[in-house]
Amino acid sequence: MTTCHRHSRRETLLRCSRCDRAVCADCTREAPVGQHCPDCVRADNRRVRWARTVFGGRVNAAPYATYALMASNVAAYLIELIDPSVIDRFDNLGVALLGPDGGYYVDDGKPYLGYEPAGVLNGEWYRLLTSAFLHSLPGQNVFGVLHLVLNLYWMWQLGRTLEERLGVTRYLAVYLLAALGGSVLGVLVDPSQPAMGASGAGFGLAGAYFVLSRRLHERRYERNRLLIMCVLWMVLTAGFTSWEGHLGGLLTGAAAAGIIAVSGRGHPIRQAAALIGLGVVLISLVALKASG
């Protein structure tokens, strides 16, 4: 009598209906026809094709990336409440002078004893993205905590839909590129003006929603209304918000979504290369500004 190929001391008459190796009762796995051994079951699992979105991303049961982004913004806000100085250290400030007292001052191009250059154009590149997770503290400006609440609302409304269409990786790429694009335009236009918030990324999600909905020929009224709302908001709040961040995020998000839509679901490498190229262009613009 033969023995199980996994348990040499167990005699058996059973065989895997796929590889025909002997298996004991503990090793058999029920199959539509006969039974399979654990090795064949694992091989089948590796060959299972994940469901894909219309643009090539993997379909998930829930918008985990949106949850993670919202949680990250809330966590950053809690850190701000504990230590408000993190705002000055990580907001989107293009150029400034860091004084001996730890404060940030306008850089007029003259050297001052004890003052050090600071800001994105002075090598603090991380500010381009870290600023997208910071928000106004209560009483800090006209928005206060509402700044965070509004961004979380739009992240929830648009993020879930876009993540469902794009999948986690592509959705995160659009979000982060939009945040980067908003910060870049802010630095290029007014480098001495600090800015923060996920609004650039939020406007980027709106731009992506418009492009993808148009590509799919759906929700015409809804996408047009959203775009009009974004433009009106930028115009009406230009005097007390970072319109550069909003516009930069909107255009970058639309461009990133356009890359994904045009590349097609069957070309992930082409999509990735083009999105990376977009990020390189944005960083290059800041590098040119810094060198000039």
Question: Where are the chain's structural domains?
Answer: 1-35, 64-285
Residue 46 has pLDDT above 70, yes or no: no
List of long-range contacts for 285-292, beta carbons under 8 Å, 24+ apart: 285/184, 285/188, 286/120, 286/121, 286/125, 286/128, 286/184, 286/187, 286/188, 289/94, 289/121, 289/187, 289/188, 289/191, 290/120, 290/121, 290/122
DSSP structural state of residue 136: P
Averaged over 41-48, what is the pLDDT? 64
Reported as a pLDDT band with limits 50, 70 and 90, residue 86 is very high
CB 210 within 8 A of CB 227: yes
Q: Which fold has domain 64-285?
A: Rhomboid-like fold (1.20.1540)
The pLDDT assigned to 66 comes to 95
| Residue entry with tokens 């705002």 | 87
Distance CA 201, CA 203 (A): 5
Residue 114 has pLDDT above 90, yes or no: no
Residue 227 has pLDDT above 70, yes or no: yes
Q: State the catalytic residues.
A: 199, 246
Averaged over 11-20, what is the pLDDT? 78
* Predicted model pTM: 0.81
- Give the chain's mean pLDDT: 88
CB 132 within 8 A of CB 203: no
Query: For residue 123, what are its two tokens?
Result: 């090598």
